[in-house]
């Protein structure tokens, strides 16, 4: 009855990246640069893949969609974060928070499946080169991309419904720089046990599920590479896989650090640093890593 009598939150306020007024302008310039590089890099990857017939292969097909997801993912978070760094009051409406949460969860969920698709593609290319064209057909590639977006949309819909069906009747201060699940759950005045279990379920089913696919793929890849007689062949194979493996490592380490800790352990600064990596920095690094470590691109 006490909760019902309280006023429902209609506007959330972010704590932001920092409350240091002297540090904020430097962070604004730095992350503005990061965002510009993210836009140019990802649009560049999509354009190069689309306009270069030599790159019309499954590997670059998946890479172009990964770049598209990174571009959108960064655009959901970074512009608002930048405006908040130079704003006196960092506000977002309740509906705006729902939309930001839904879009980011959809894109992040899609990204992990695209990483798995790219790892599977490298597994087929290196371990079954004679059957690569027949296995990784254009139809199958489209199917895997559609499946990635569909699963991302579905899990995001369920998480959004879970979080925003809770009561938010007390404080409206989100100790973060965007609408994310852990700080929203800590802010809710409802029992969050079911949503806490939901976090674990989604991380284990989608995050761990795709990670297992990636690990199995690379176990076979490394085993196959080590059996190659040619040193040049081993070096070339490792080079084509290392970009994907590096991007996957950065993304998964930061995500698991944030979401697979006990809700009672509150390390806001560490959470924000990890969140910056997978929401802002990783979308910039992916096109740089794939282009700098790939002679064809």
Most confident range, picked from 83-92, 181-190, 235-244: 83-92
First to last CA, the chain: 62
The fold of the 2-292 domain, in CATH, is Rhopdopsin 7-helix transmembrane proteins (1.20.1070)
CA distances 283 to 92, 124, 186, Å, are 23, 26, 27
Q: What is the pLDDT of residue 110?
A: 95
Beta bridge partners of 92: 12
Global pTM reads: 0.88
243 pLDDT above the threshold of 90: no
DSSP 175-212: SSSS--HHHHHHH-SS--HHHHHHHHHHIIIIIIHHHH
What confidence tens digit (pLDDT) does each residue in 282-297 have? 899 888 887 766 666 6
d(CA 228, CA 251): 30
Instruction: Pick left, alpha or beta for residue 222 (phi over 0 → left; psi -120 to 50 → alpha; otherwise beta).
Output: alpha
Nearest to 179 by CA among 99, 86, 259: 99
Higher pLDDT, 260 or 112: 112
Nearest to 11 by CA among 89, 105, 122, 117: 89
Higher pLDDT, 187 or 66: 66
Average model confidence (pLDDT) across the chain: 85
Tokens of 294: 């790939």
**7-28 burial string, b = 16+ CB within 10 Å, else e?**
eebeebebbbbeeeeeebeebb
Q: pLDDT class for 265, splitting at 50, 70, 90? A: very low
Q: pLDDT class for 263, splitting at 50, 70, 90? A: low
Nearest to 110 by CA among 71, 138, 139, 137: 71
Residues 6+ apart with CB under 8 A from 13: 89, 90, 91, 92, 172, 173, 174
Least confident of 8-12, 24-28, 35-39, 243-247: 243-247
Higher pLDDT, 178 or 18: 178
Host H or E run for residue 153: helix 138-163
37 pLDDT above the threshold of 80: yes
d(CA 179, CA 243): 30
Host H or E run for residue 14: strand 11-14
Look at residue 260 and give its three-state secondary structure: coil
Higher pLDDT, 289 or 3: 289
Q: Where are the beta strands (DSSP E) in 112-245?
A: 173-174
158 pLDDT above the threshold of 60: yes
The mean per-residue pLDDT over the stretch 158-186 comes to 86
6 pLDDT above the threshold of 60: no
């Amino acid at each position: 009855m006490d909760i019902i009598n309280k006023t429902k939150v209609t506007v959330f306020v972010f704590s932001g990246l920092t409350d240091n007024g002297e540090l904020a302008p430097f962070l604004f310039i730095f992350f503005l640069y990061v965002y510009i590089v993210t836009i140019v890099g990802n649009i560049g990857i999509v354009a190069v893949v689309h306009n270069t017939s030599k790159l019309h292969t499954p590997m670059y097909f998946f890479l172009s969609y990964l770049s598209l997801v990174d571009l959108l993912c960064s655009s959901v978070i970074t512009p608002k974060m930048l405006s908040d760094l130079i704003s006196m009051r960092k506000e977002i409406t309740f509906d705006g928070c729902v939309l930001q949460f839904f879009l980011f969860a959809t894109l992040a969920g899609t990204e992990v499946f695209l990483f798995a698709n790219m790892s599977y593609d490298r597994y087929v290319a290196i371990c079954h080169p004679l059957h690569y064209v027949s296995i990784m057909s254009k139809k199958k590639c489209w199917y895997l991309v559609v499946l990635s977006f569909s699963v991302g949309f579905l899990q995001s819909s369920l998480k959004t419904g879970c979080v925003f069906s809770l009561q938010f009747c007390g404080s409206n201060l989100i100790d973060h720089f965007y609408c994310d699940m852990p700080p929203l759950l800590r802010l809710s005045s409802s029992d969050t046990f079911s949503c806490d279990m939901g976090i674990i379920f989604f991380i284990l089913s989608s995050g761990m599920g795709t990670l297992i696919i990636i690990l199995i793929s690379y176990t076979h890849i490394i085993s196959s590479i080590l059996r190659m007689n040619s040193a040049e062949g081993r070096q070339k194979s490792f080079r084509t896989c290392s970009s994907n493996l590096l991007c996957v490592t950065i993304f998964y380490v930061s995500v698991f650090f944030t979401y697979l800790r006990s809700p009672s352990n509150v390390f806001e600064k560490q959470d924000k640093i990890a969140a910056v990596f997978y929401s802002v920095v990783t979308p910039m690094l992916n096109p740089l890593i794939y282009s700098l470590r790939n002679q064809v691109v």
